[in-house]
Structure 1
Amino acid sequence: MQPLAKNSFNPAAGLDSASADINKIMRLSYGTEIDYQRLAYEAGEIWKSWNKQIELGTNNLPAGLEKEDKLWYSTGMLRMSATEDYGEFELRTLENMQKEGLREMQYMCDNPEDILRARSRGWGQKLDPLDKKKRLGYNTAVLDSTAGFVAADKACHWVWHLCQRAGVHFVQDPTRGKVTQIVDDGDKVIGIKTADGLEHHSDMVIVACGGWTPTLIPEVRSLLETTAGSVATIHIDEVTMPHLWQKYAPENMPVLTWGMKEGKGVYMLPRTKEGVIKFGYRATKWTNYDTVGDGQRISVPKTAHVTDKKESNIPKKSLNSIKEFISINTPDLLPLEFSATKLCWYTDSIDNSFVIDHVPNKPGMFVCSGGSGHGFKFLPILGREIVPILEGRGQDTVYGKMWRWREDKALTLGNKRNGLQEGEGGPRVLAKQDMASPRDWRVNSEASRL
């Protein structure tokens, strides 16, 4: 367990947690998945209230958080097509936004009525911030004014602070805080064992361990797999690059996604106050197979700082896809170089939905996992839905049904399996990839013109 709170959850301090990141996208658009859309909208209201609490200094802010800090940034999100056509997912999303009374907050960037409405509401400058209509002849995109991003590191620090005030005790120590084994007495789970050799007994063990969940719970391996998205950053300087500094500021630039349903799978977030622009590639979710404690080979995290086998590079396929995004969409960044890359480890479920339930045939064990790369936005509200499930009175709620334990064979007929069927023989294994190192960090390379 890393000393996250000691370092204010700042990833620059050498922290590898997927959640302790500089920022995460906050989107409400979920296509036909209307229940996730509703939950995201409710979560958004809590994010806004947390901004207000921090601004007012409520609950005596912890060291590392200031009244000027924000968790939620209402920048909007521009969902850009990689072609001149709108994808089916985008059209279904707009239909559901209409049903939910949110269509007025969505703006099709080539629809004259939507353009006029966006301009009248102060969103006009974010319809085409990359000047794509002039440069490419089309701007097939939807601006979602309900979306934006959250400062993930500060959000983790804020929630840690709230939990401490509520009486939660954290053990953030590389030995005392590292779980090595789930302990049972033959009939039920009774606790955990930590790396210092001590056992800690409890009435219920709740496993919410991100990418390490399948390692600790073998039973969940048919439902969850540890995978990595790819992240690269570019640093811009306020003094020497004033135009770029202004252009990519959150007040001027929305979150950008590009070709998500066309196999491109790249996103970009506005610059931070330190001048960091973050890009992500999620079209291919990488796996890393290794032998774990029970002798099985499964995918486990391989990070830059914490794991025994370390990795700070990303596959060239990921980096080249990001370069392609920059070449087409943000060509003014072509003269620059990437400042860092990293793999961001999640747990993907077979159907991209959470797995939150009591583990079958394991009394005393409860699992919360399967964020599938879209879970962080629900940080303020997941507990409201989890507690009834944990207490045995929420299994028949909307989310209790969505997140309950499901058997893999029930999802093999026409439903997603999210690549879990590939195993170590699949094409996404990191050991099979050509990895990009700092010598590949020039943005304006041949790869950017692929």
Structure 2
Amino acid sequence: MSAPSTTARPPPPSLRKDSRIIIVGSGVFGISTALWLARAGYRDVTVLDMQDTAAAGYDPKAGIDSASADINKIVRFSYGSAVDYQRLASRAAAEWDEWNRQIAASTDLPRRFAGDRSRVWLNCGALRQSPTREMTEQELLTLKSMEQEGIRDRQFRTDDEADVERARRRGWAHKLDPCRRRERFGHHKAVLDSTAGFVVAYRGCDWARHMAQKLGVKFILDSRCGKAIDIGGADDGKPTVRTADGTVHKGDLVVVAGGGWTPSLLPEVDQLLETTGGSVAMIQIPRSRKDLWDRFAPENFPVIMEPGIYSFPRDENGIVKIGFRETKNLPELREFGISSTKLCWYTDSVDNSFLVDFVPGRGGKVAVCSGGSGHGFKFLPILGQEVVKILEGRGSATPYGRLWGWRSTSPPASAAVGDAKGKTRNGLGEGEAGPRVLSKLKMASPADWVFKSGADNRSSKL
């Protein structure tokens, strides 16, 4: 995979282990960076956030408004020909395994973990479904990449007898067609990835924050004291962060990892990053419906991904989360309707690849760490390790430093994350004239959440 076209970057700051580093944002990109800076021996790292993610344990039910504060996120390894992302996801999965072990053995858990040693990472598998009778080009590229990496044997094609038999031997066959598509539609082209699954997102973030705090990272989490409203510079050339309470925080390096708020803090990223919202709906399964409670449990139901939609097994409270850009349904759940909805507030990049680099014109003292593009969460345990290399000026020597560098806003010759046609992604650049502006969209009301009886089940792709 070729790296995107980059522009000349300023020299990095001369960081010392006692340099004052200020990170704006305590989501995945910010907290992973803070954790790995502390692990690398940096002793003066401060994280600012306008929400008290620590007290709330990142729990969305406690009112935390962030893409990172979610009930669950997908861990997948399917990246077409983008092998560097596939490899990074594999490294992250190994670290997720280690976090599960640490949480199970720890006598010092975050406050909101008290009494609960649930895993943060569940290897329930992920079923990548084709919407047609043929495998997608992206799927074929993914399988080729996995074969080259020596991990093809844990991928099970539903149309390959050898794969199906291998799935039976390994105990995965019951997840090959959980939506009974072959019975309902007469065909079912899919690949079950037995290495994939999902993480309990808010717990993952809280565990990372907990570890960072134990290593000495300081946190200012407050609606005024922690809310960054301006990234500037002092007379002595040092970067500053002004917060809503009027305080000016001066550092040796400022890292802006504000997720959906990043473009408003750094106007320079306007043509590289765009704040977006993904539609998410939740369906509540009552415990009294043991048939469905068991059917949609992680032990029996995988993560499902298909162009235009993804869904999760139910969580411990019986919630099935579905992300969608098209109208589809799981007919067994129609009777319950939609219990709640939300917009997942995150940031897309020009090519779906992250943006981690020093901001041009800021003297190498302000860096951006953003652009998760809907697939960044899975890298939480390992992302900061690569970010630290970039902040230390070693980015040009690493594949991720080259991949995530500041780049041209023109359509790339080959997009960074598996777009074979080389186009920019997600409609980035449409601006306020584009059709996706929130004010132009018709919003559903609770009356729309109830599914009409007698709807044609065959219209459902799931």
**TM-score normalized by structure 1?**
0.86
User: Where does residue 288 of structure 1 map in the other structure?
Assistant: none
Is 2:193 the partner of 1:144?
yes
Q: Say if 1:268 and 1:277, in contact at 8 Å, map to a contact too.
A: yes
Is 2:325 the partner of 1:325?
no
Is 2:424 the partner of 1:417?
yes
Q: Aligned to 2:335, what secondary structure does the other structure show?
A: coil
In the TM superposition, residue 411 of structure 1 has moved relative to its aligned partner by 3.0
User: Where does residue 368 of structure 1 map in the other structure?
Assistant: 369
Question: Among 322, 341, 347, which residue is 1:279 paired with?
Answer: 322
Q: Say if 1:76 and 1:148, in contact at 8 Å, map to a contact too.
A: yes
Structure 1 unmatched runs, 5+:
282-317
Q: Say if 1:192 and 1:200, in contact at 8 Å, map to a contact too.
A: yes
Q: How does 1:112-261 map to 2 (within 5 A)?
A: 112-185=161-234, 188-239=237-288, 241-258=289-306, 260=307
Q: Say if 2:346 and 2:374, in contact at 8 Å, map to a contact too.
A: yes
Distance 1:187 1:343 in 2: 42
Distance 2:299 2:127 in 1: 14
Distance 2:395 2:412 in 1: 23
Cα deviation 1:100-150 (Å, max 9, x = unaligned): 011100000121111100000011111111222222211111100111000
Question: Among 58, 81, 93, which residue is 1:32 paired with?
Answer: 81
Q: Aligned to 1:436, what secondary structure does the other structure show?
A: coil
Q: Say if 2:338 and 2:449, in contact at 8 Å, map to a contact too.
A: yes
Distance 1:238 1:247 in 2: 12
Whichever residue aligns with residue 312 of structure 2, its letter is L
Is 2:309 the partner of 1:266?
yes
Cα deviation 1:293-351 (Å, max 9, x = unaligned): xxxxxxxxxxxxxxxxxxxxxxxxx4xx2xx421xxx2111222101111011111101
Q: Aligned to 1:155, what secondary structure does the other structure show?
A: helix
In the TM superposition, residue 68 of structure 1 has moved relative to its aligned partner by 2.5
User: Where does residue 335 of structure 1 map in the other structure?
Assistant: 335
Distance 1:141 1:410 in 2: 31
Is 2:402 the partner of 1:354?
no
Whichever residue aligns with residue 25 of structure 1, its letter is I
Distance 1:427 1:64 in 2: 41
In the TM superposition, residue 180 of structure 1 has moved relative to its aligned partner by 0.8
Q: Say if 2:279 and 2:343, in contact at 8 Å, map to a contact too.
A: yes
Whichever residue aligns with residue 403 of structure 2, its letter is M
Distance 1:67 1:246 in 2: 21
User: Where does residue 94 of structure 1 map in the other structure?
Assistant: 143
Q: Aligned to 1:257, what secondary structure does the other structure show?
A: strand
Q: Say if 1:189 and 1:365, in contact at 8 Å, map to a contact too.
A: no
Q: Say if 1:55 and 1:67, in contact at 8 Å, map to a contact too.
A: no
User: Where does residue 315 of structure 1 map in the other structure?
Assistant: none
Q: Say if 1:347 and 1:372, in contact at 8 Å, map to a contact too.
A: yes
User: Where does residue 43 of structure 2 map in the other structure?
Assistant: none
Q: Say if 2:411 and 2:423, in contact at 8 Å, map to a contact too.
A: no
In the TM superposition, residue 394 of structure 1 has moved relative to its aligned partner by 2.5
Q: Which has the higher contact order (CA 8 A, sep 6+)?
A: 2
User: Where does residue 129 of structure 2 map in the other structure?
Assistant: 80
In the TM superposition, residue 51 of structure 1 has moved relative to its aligned partner by 0.2
Q: Say if 1:178 and 1:194, in contact at 8 Å, map to a contact too.
A: yes
Distance 1:436 1:142 in 2: 33
Q: Say if 1:175 and 1:194, in contact at 8 Å, map to a contact too.
A: yes
Whichever residue aligns with residue 416 of structure 1, its letter is K
Question: Among 440, 444, 447, which residue is 1:439 paired with?
Answer: 447
User: Where does residue 112 of structure 2 map in the other structure?
Assistant: 64
In the TM superposition, residue 3 of structure 1 has moved relative to its aligned partner by 1.7
Distance 2:336 2:451 in 1: 6
User: Where does residue 42 of structure 1 map in the other structure?
Assistant: 91
In the TM superposition, residue 421 of structure 1 has moved relative to its aligned partner by 2.3
Q: Aligned to 2:210, what secondary structure does the other structure show?
A: helix
Distance 1:444 1:242 in 2: 24
In the TM superposition, residue 417 of structure 1 has moved relative to its aligned partner by 2.3
In the TM superposition, residue 189 of structure 1 has moved relative to its aligned partner by 5.0
User: Where does residue 295 of structure 1 map in the other structure?
Assistant: none
Superposition CA RMSD, Å: 1.7
Distance 1:398 1:87 in 2: 27
Distance 1:114 1:407 in 2: 42
Distance 2:456 2:271 in 1: 37
> In structure 2, do the counterparts of structure 1 residues 128 and 409 end up closer, same or farther at CA, with 3 Å as the change threshold?
closer
In the TM superposition, residue 187 of structure 1 has moved relative to its aligned partner by 7.9
Distance 2:122 2:376 in 1: 17
Distance 1:385 1:428 in 2: 33
